[in-house]
């Protein structure tokens, strides 16, 4: 069973993501901010991380960069969930600065999230 860390400070969003992915057979670990998430990533070694952007402390972009710059954790796929449209995100932040493997905007179709998660996990298994 693949382990997914969901980093979200809003309870309703966390619950929706947790239920959606649990129903697909994934084990869910939860964190409510970037600091807690980074510690859990180091301890739990999840197969994938889904993170909100706007959170207390370390935001989702910073968390992504931290993980991708760590030689042990750098292969961990990261999905950024944001209310900002991808085109606005790309022009403001720059894809290379974020270093996430996928980006999905809110509100999102839960099945679209499941599809992205499964694709990234399959890609990771093939590499």
Dig out the tokens for 35 from the structure: 């600091």
- pTM equals 0.89
The parent domain of residue 110 ranges over 3-126
Measure the CA–CA gap between 68 and 101, rounded to whole angstroms.
Answer: 10
pLDDT for 98: 66
Look at residue 47 in the predicted model and tell me its pLDDT.
Answer: 97
What is the tens place of the pLDDT at every residue in 80-115?
988 765 545 454 454 455 678 998 887 878 899 999
pLDDT at 77: 96
37 compared with 91, residue with greater pLDDT: 37
Q: How many domains does the chain have?
A: 1
Q: 70 to each of 11, 25, 42, 74, how far by Cα in Å?
A: 29, 28, 10, 5
Q: What are 46-87's pLDDT values in tens digits?
A: 999 999 888 888 888 899 999 999 999 999 999 998 876 554
Domain of 68: which CATH number? 3.40.50.2300
**Averaged pLDDT score across all residues of the chain:** 86
29 vs 104: which has the higher pLDDT = 29
Handedness of CA 113, 34, 126, 103 (dihedral sign): positive
The predicted pLDDT at position 96 comes to: 52
Handedness of CA 105, 109, 112, 118 (dihedral sign): positive
């Amino acid at each position: 069973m693949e382990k997914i860390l969901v980093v979200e400070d809003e309870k309703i969003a966390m619950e929706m993501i947790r239920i959606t992915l649990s129903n697909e057979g994934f084990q869910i670990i939860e964190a409510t901010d970037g600091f807690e998430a980074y510690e859990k990533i180091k301890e739990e070694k999840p197969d994938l991380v889904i993170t909100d952007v706007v959170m207390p402390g370390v935001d989702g972009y910073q968390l992504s960069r931290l993980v991708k710059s760590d030689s042990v954790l750098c292969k961990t796929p990261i999905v950024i969930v944001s209310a900002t449209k991808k085109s606005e995100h790309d022009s403001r932040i720059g894809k290379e600065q974020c270093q996430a493997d996928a980006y999905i905007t809110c509100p999102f179709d839960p099945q679209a999230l499941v599809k992205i998660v499964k694709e990234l996990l399959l890609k990771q298994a093939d590499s």
